[in-house]
Amino acid sequence: MVQPRDLDIRTLYTLEAIHRLGSISAAADELGLSQPAVSHALRKLRHVFSDPLFIRAGTGITPTPRATQLAASARRIESLVNAEVNSATEFDPQQLRRKFRLLMTDPGELVLLPRLLRKIRSSAPQVTVESSSRPAGEMAEALDSGVADLAIGPFPELALSHLRQERLYRRSFLCLYASDHPTLSRKGLTLETYLGESHLSVRSTSRTEEIFEQFLAENGYTRNVVVTVPHMLSVPAVVRESDLIATVPQAVGAFFGNYPGIMAHRAPFLDEVSFPSTTVSQFWSARFEQDPAHVWLRSLVTGLFREPIAPPATNSCPELLIH
């Protein structure tokens, strides 16, 4: 049996970093240690637990079940230590040294992340941020385990989970097309012209577009989709140089609508009661409910993005809110 005196908490933190990053060199960079020091800590843990912990697999390393168990334990210990230390002193974001790991969609990274980073940098200059995406089925576990701190986005699966959550805002969809579109520049964007033209579709990990596709199917509408892309960043370039229409989340549409040669227009379905919208929320684990740094981060998100439950409706693009 392993005795507590056989362990150094710092070696467990090292193992957690290797497990999360999948690389000894990456763990060394994050922890500010030399690669030999990280390798030495790993050898010590292998001896204590009589387990290889990580094995070579192709060009990387793969954790053993024991390593995965220990990494989870290290995250729980780190969370407890942070909570105890922070509760004993007055919280000061200027002194905070911490990496916050966010789960976001690519529209969120495009529209929300810059504003959040600006606020974080002005209040806590020593804080770093890492944004990533995960499959829907893995996000709750990542938040509970501490691999991620906060999820911000339209995540319906998380809305039905055990996680803590706060609704931020609700938005619909916009259409993007070239300002010199051969048909729309003359006739405008109506339901008839929308259905008669060719379209660009985005199939991103955010899955926001699935809501719009479901609306079309349920109401018997069909589009001629000629191009499909996996993320939002290519949308303005493709739309500007083609005769395609892209239907995107409102935040993205309002953002790209400022690009030269791009027109943003409300979707021609807005008068229909069933026209869809998405709710953007922030989600976190109950484990971090009282963690002062976590509370501070959530308060920044709330202050920047939370809106009343029923914001005023609008039908013209210039009045649409960006986020």
Q: Do domains 4-74 and 93-170+279-316 have the same CATH topology?
A: no
Domain parsing of the chain, residue ranges = 4-74, 93-170+279-316, 173-266
Per DSSP, the three-state class of 27 is: helix
Percentages helix, strand, coil for the chain, rounded to the nearest 5?
45, 20, 35
Tell me the fold of 93-170+279-316.
Answer: D-Maltodextrin-Binding Protein; domain 2 (3.40.190)
Counting as low any pLDDT under 50, the low residues of the chain are 311-323
The CATH class given to the 4-74 domain equals mainly alpha
Q: Are 204 and 232 in contact (CB under 8 A)?
A: yes
Q: What is the pLDDT of residue 89?
A: 60
End-to-end C-alpha distance for the chain, whole angstroms = 54
Phi and psi angles of residue 103, each rounded to the nearest 5 degrees, phi first: -105, 120
Q: Are 151 and 103 in contact (CB under 8 A)?
A: yes
What pLDDT digit, counting tens, does each position of 93-140 carry?
A: 999 999 999 999 888 998 999 999 999 999 999 999 999 988 888 999
Structure-block tokens of residue 241: 């140089």
Q: What is the pLDDT of residue 83?
A: 67
Q: What is the pLDDT of residue 10?
A: 87
Q: Are 101 and 148 in contact (CB under 8 A)?
A: yes
Query: What torsion, rounded to 10 degrees, do the Cα atoms 194, 198, 204, 206 define?
Result: 0
CATH hierarchy code of domain 173-266: 3.40.190.10
